[in-house]
Amino acid sequence: LPRDQWPQVIDRLARVLKVPPQEIQKRLEQAGYESIESVTIARGISPAQATALAEYSNELPGVRLEAEAVRNYPNGDLAAHVLGYTGELTDQQLAARRDQGYRMGDVVGQMGAESAFESTLRGTWGGQQVEVDSAGRIIRILGDKPAVSGQDVQLTLDADLQRAAEAALGNLRGSIVAMDPNNGAILAMASWPNYDPNIFTTRLTEAQWQQLQAADHPFLNRSLQAFPPASTFKIVTTAAALESGKYSPDTILPTYPYIQVGGIQFGDWNRAGFGPLGFTGAMAWSSDTFFYQVAMRLGGPTRRFGFGRKTGIELGAEESPGLVPDDTWKRENLKEGWVIGDSINMSIGQGYLQATPLQVAVMFAVAANGGYRVMPHVLKDNEESRNWRESLNLSDKTVDILHQGLRRVITGGTASALNVPHLPPFAGKTGTAEAPPGKSHAWFGAYAPLDKPEVVVVAFAEHSGGGGGKVAAPMVLQVLEAYFGQQDPKSLKAD
């Protein structure tokens, strides 16, 4: 397009397409005055706009309409955070990818699997070498290079289980993760609020953009964001205590309404205490003061279960590593040293400790599979992740105590309401995290069946204000019912 014809073409395009003229001007300038590269001005135009452009074709030299394949998400917002969405390259992305064959106006994966597997899904451009007249109209085609389609990818998600997880989460801000504890395959990953990736296939309306910028951050995949893991972390504290050699499976400790250290009271959630407890009883009743005493003797933090680093999932660009604080971190960030109170808080998953729901699922998998850390993955043929297992070298006695304690949570502890006859026996752990100045977070994780675990489910409800047993546990129950194809007969309704 000759430079002297830009103003009239820009003006006509702006009026027909309802695109600000300065935006069109910017795109043309980015391509360059003498560039032979096509410049995309608008996508998803209406039939009326296409007709108008055809009518004004004599006034629009060098402008043409092209059919374009558009990504379609037939299930709408289902698994939106895992699938992600596509969108036009930003200026920064274009600058970084020009050497890889990308060009202005290209549509690429922007989040989720769309971004993680962009190189596989993309394919390569075709093209034509053409002869044009002075008005930019094609006279003849001189050469043709066919395009090469991208490849398909198959994910590990179970569509029915994903629907069940999203239904269980409802309209609570939070996350539900379901994973195979033996190989890390993600069976479901729900996050709310969510969005419909189909809206990115056309130009966003102002209302749609404002909705995506809402204070509850619908773009965030909360399965990959970090929060205090609360009492679910007592799994780690129990394992660390038993592996330290300072405690045995037969250890009994008194519990109290609170423990005072250096003039500071560290209270138990049960203000009456529980009396003497062993590790299985302390896990079943989630006694805080039991684990305070353990922490005072153990000392510093542990990263053995994979906390404080990314899990290795392919969606790592969106994944928080969480945080396992220590003396170095505290001195660098808070300008003060580690104290025993920090260890006490961490022993029950509070303080500065941060973990993602996915990391918590990996922790439950360690208990479920007998002591191995697995690598979560969403690509079905990711053999490297599927076959990766890291032994934590836990003793059989430690693994057995974890199984017993987590089972007692269900049979007579803080989640006894989930001890239902219509599901195989399973094990789990509640958690309620203080999150001032907001309301508390609710956690619950479980694995099933107890004798040969094949699924881990973790539910997290952000600032729900309720306890893990009341808010998060029923979500996990609902997902387990979907997984095993069973439902509580009392909840069935006659037609």
What pLDDT is attached to residue 111?
Answer: 95
Instruction: Report how far residue 17's alpha carbon sits from residue 160's, in angstroms, rounded to the nearest whole number.
Output: 41
Q: Does 34 have pLDDT greater than 80?
A: no
Q: Does 41 have pLDDT greater than 90?
A: no
pLDDT tens track for 126-166: 666 777 776 666 778 877 777 777 789 999 999 999 999 99
What pLDDT is attached to residue 47?
Answer: 86
**DSSP letter for each residue of 367-401:** HHHTSEEE--B-BTT-HHHHT-EEE----HHHHHH
pLDDT tens track for 393-411: 999 999 999 999 999 999 9
Q: Does 207 have pLDDT greater than 60?
A: yes
Q: Does 105 have pLDDT greater than 90?
A: no
pLDDT above 70 coverage of the chain, percent:
94
Non-local (6+) Cβ contacts of 312 within 8 A are 375, 376, 377, 385, 388
With contact defined as beta carbons under 8 Å apart, do 432 and 157 qualify?
no
* Angular region, 351: left φ>0, alpha ψ -120 to 50, beta rest: left
Q: Does 495 have pLDDT greater than 50?
A: no
pLDDT tens track for 318-358: 999 999 999 999 999 999 999 999 999 999 999 999 999 99
Question: What average pLDDT score do residues 261-288 get?
Answer: 95
Q: Where are the beta strands (DSSP E) in 166-257?
A: 174-179, 186-192
27-41, 154-168, 473-487, range with the lowest pLDDT: 27-41
Query: How far is CA 434 from each of CA 215, 229, 440, 464, 475, rounded to the nearest angstrom?
Result: 21, 10, 5, 11, 20
What pLDDT is attached to residue 490?
Answer: 53
pLDDT above 90 coverage of the chain, percent:
65
Q: Does 114 have pLDDT greater than 80?
A: yes
- Burial of residue 129 (CB within 10 Å: 0-12, 13-18, 19+) is exposed
Domains of the chain (ranges, CATH numbers) = 1-68 (no CATH), 159-491 (3.40.710.10)
Question: What average pLDDT score do residues 16-41 get?
Answer: 78
pLDDT tens track for 308-324: 999 999 999 999 999 99
Q: Does 295 have pLDDT greater than 80?
A: yes
What's the pTM? 0.88
Question: What average pLDDT score do residues 176-180 get?
Answer: 99
Residue 68 or 110, more confident = 110
Confidence band of 492 (pLDDT split at 50, 70, 90) = very low
Instruction: Report how far residue 452's alpha carbon sits from residue 301's, in angstroms, rounded to the nearest whole number.
Output: 30
Question: What average pLDDT score do residues 233-247 get?
Answer: 97
How far out from the chain centre does Cα 384 lie?
21
Q: Does 36 have pLDDT greater than 80?
A: no
Winning range, highest mean pLDDT, from 68-72, 116-120, 428-432, 482-486: 428-432
What pLDDT is attached to residue 216?
Answer: 84
pLDDT tens track for 402-448: 999 999 999 999 999 999 999 999 999 999 999 888 899 999 999 99
Considering the chain, what is the average pLDDT of its residues?
A: 90
Place of tokens 């907001």: 438
